[in-house]
Amino acid sequence: MISKAMQDALNDQINKEFYSSYLYLAMAAWFETRNLPGMAVWLRKQAGEEREHAMKLFDHMADRGGKALLKTIEAPRSEWGSSMEAFKDAQAHEAKVTASINALYELALKEKDYPAQVLLQWFISEQVEEEKSAAEIVSQLEMVEARESAILMLDHRLGKRGAA
């Protein structure tokens, strides 16, 4: 059985993962309005991954006899001044998610919740990939910031990630 403290913390993380999905969908919508469908596709895919993360936590809770309590999801920002600003927001958001996952892992250690520790190891590894991916895009945008044709080339490459 999962402890109340762990259940509450996992429920908070489920909410954060669904918020992440909303945020990336809002970014995708913004990129669609700027005629950058490749960036929108990349962000839609990212939104799908965040929903999968929420469901992984949801399923873990159910498997352990806990109860997932779905909370209100805050509306994300919907406008950015530039592609760079949007992806810097994504990068900063991933850093926040990493901090949240690390805090969850610390709680799992404190609670001696070994199944949660195993699950959270996957999330810790995933966050390394998430932060790296966002940082790479920001770095590439920095390289092409003043050249609109280069932004379109980057948009095309990001669009090859696949649909959500």
**Model pTM score:** 0.88
For the stretch 110-137, pLDDT in tens is: 999 999 999 999 999 999 999 999 999 9
Read off the pLDDT of each residue in 94-102 and give the average, rounded to a whole number.
98
Supply the pLDDT for residue 140: 84
Q: What percent of the chain has pLDDT over 70?
A: 96
- Assess if residue 33 is contained within a domain: yes
Confidence of residue 163 (pLDDT cuts 50, 70, 90): low
| Residue appearing with tokens 């609109």 | 148
Q: What is the domain-level CATH number for residue 38?
A: 1.20.1260.10
Supply the pLDDT for residue 154: 78
Q: Which domain holds residue 88?
A: 4-159
Is residue 19 a contact partner of residue 76, using CB atoms and an 8 Å limit? yes
- Assess if residue 68 is contained within a domain: yes
- Assess if residue 137 is contained within a domain: yes
Q: How many domains does the chain have?
A: 1
- Assess if residue 164 is contained within a domain: no
Supply the pLDDT for residue 105: 98
Burial of 75 per CB tally in 10 Å (0-12, 13-18, 19+): exposed
Sign of CA pseudo-dihedral 18, 72, 13, 64? negative
The DSSP output letter for 71 is -
Sequence-distant (6+) residues with CB within 8 A of 104 are: 9, 10, 13, 116, 120, 123
Sequence-distant (6+) residues with CB within 8 A of 106 are: none
- Assess if residue 35 is contained within a domain: yes
